[in-house]
Structure 1
């Protein structure tokens, strides 16, 4: 009987810790998204060229692994903003290219709106139902390798409709990642708010880019 107060106390501590991680994650996510958006706007206004796939991959993974290494220190916040700022920089030239299209502004607004709706809806669903989405880990792992193979095929071969299929696949993949990461936070699987923020940011970024491509392809058929 004496163990019961300690069990309750441990549960309350876990709940407080989870709430803290959730609060810090969404606060940092809001700041990084705003910072990334400002960098993307500045890059678009300056008409900077896209750094290319090689520099993008090196920059992203380099800053990502740096953030992982520094995640438990104050420097982790700096590397998080460096990572999201760099991704915003790569987004600027993409937005500039779409704005050069006849309906480019509508495509961007549609992709942005849909991204906000999808992220908000999926997050609200997990937060309100508190369902355990850990079963999605297998889907996410398989999806990563399937999408990687599809991107390699698109680079090597000219296959009609493959790019649209890849974009649709990334929408599903990013949505599953948002559900999974949000569930990990509220169920105590993720205790580091910096890594939770980076995970959600990357999912939102990929979701937005994929929707841009889908709406752009659909718009070009008109």
Structure 2
């Protein structure tokens, strides 16, 4: 594999690296990641839509935790085998099923369709902007990993506290925190692919999918504040 730290010639007057200047291995991982990410997002959205149409019940907290972490563990164990792709689609399908009732609840609010549309648009714009920045600048954002990991641990614990203690204000604060952390993870994970830190496109896809899922869910909660009476 070509060493990523080798100097790469800039192709424009601003000194910004374009995707075409990426080493072959990194470019291939990035291309495969984006292709698989697009398919998993469409599949997850289809499952969520079916859940809305058929009014599927929301999974409980225990089912959600066991299902998501169990399937995520399966993806990690199978990442280098032929079962990696089925495991990825099983995981993203389950996450889509869990998202369906959340979106349905948002749609039922006054102005709910506008809230969902705004959350989708903001998520897409954020992902595209941060990905473009990471790819074109080729900066290494791995220094953020410790801060982002610690932040997510705190957010998970605070989120569980908000659920069990039924504190709406804390829940909204957690949503804002997760949205910011998810944006940082998108930037960091994309830079890891570009700089050769992640060479497995299956794991790269799952990482970006989770960040997009969490970003959308958080923005949905935040944008829904004004519509929830």
1:53, distance to aligned residue in structure 2 (A): 1.2
The aligned counterpart of 2:165 is 157
Match of 2:182 among 174, 187, 199: 174
Larger displacement relative to structure 2 (170-179 or 154-163) = 154-163
Taking structure 2 as the reference length, the TM-score comes to 0.88
Q: Encode CA deviations 1:181-208: one digit per residue, 9 max, x unaligned.
A: 0011001000000000000000000000
Deviation at 1:64, TM superposition (A): 0.5
Q: 3-state SS of the aligned residue for 1:161?
A: helix
1:189 matched to 2:189? The reply is no
Establish whether residue 144 from structure 1 lines up as the match of residue 152 from structure 2: yes
Cα deviation per residue 1:46-76 (whole Å; 9 max; x = unaligned)? 0111011111111111110000000011210
What does residue range 14-25 of structure 1 map to in structure 2 within 5 Å? 15-25=23-33
* Residue 132 of structure 2 corresponds to residue 124 of structure 1: yes
Measured in 2, the distance between the counterparts of 1:105 and 1:160 equals: 22
> Does 1:112 pair with 2:120?
yes
Within 1, Cα distance between the matches of 2:127 and 2:31?
A: 16
Instruction: Tell me if the contact between 2:75 and 2:87 (Cα under 8 Å) persists in the aligned partners.
Output: yes
Which 4+ residue blocks in structure 1 deviate beyond 4 angstroms? none
Q: How many residues align?
A: 213
Q: Within 2, Cα distance between the matches of 1:60 and 1:146?
A: 19
Range 73-82 or range 92-101, more displaced: 92-101
Mapped to 2, the partners of 1:63 and 1:160 lie a distance apart of 29
The alignment's C-alpha RMSD in Å is 1.9
Between 1:142-151 and 1:75-84, the stretch displaced more is 142-151
Structure 1 length normalisation: TM-score? Answer: 0.91
| Correspondence for 1:212 | 220
Gapped regions of structure 1 (runs ≥ 5): 1-6
* 1:66 matches 2:90: no
Q: Which has the higher helix share?
A: 1
CA distance in 2, matches of 1:219, 1:40: 21
Between 144-153 and 35-44, the greater mean CA deviation after superposition: 144-153
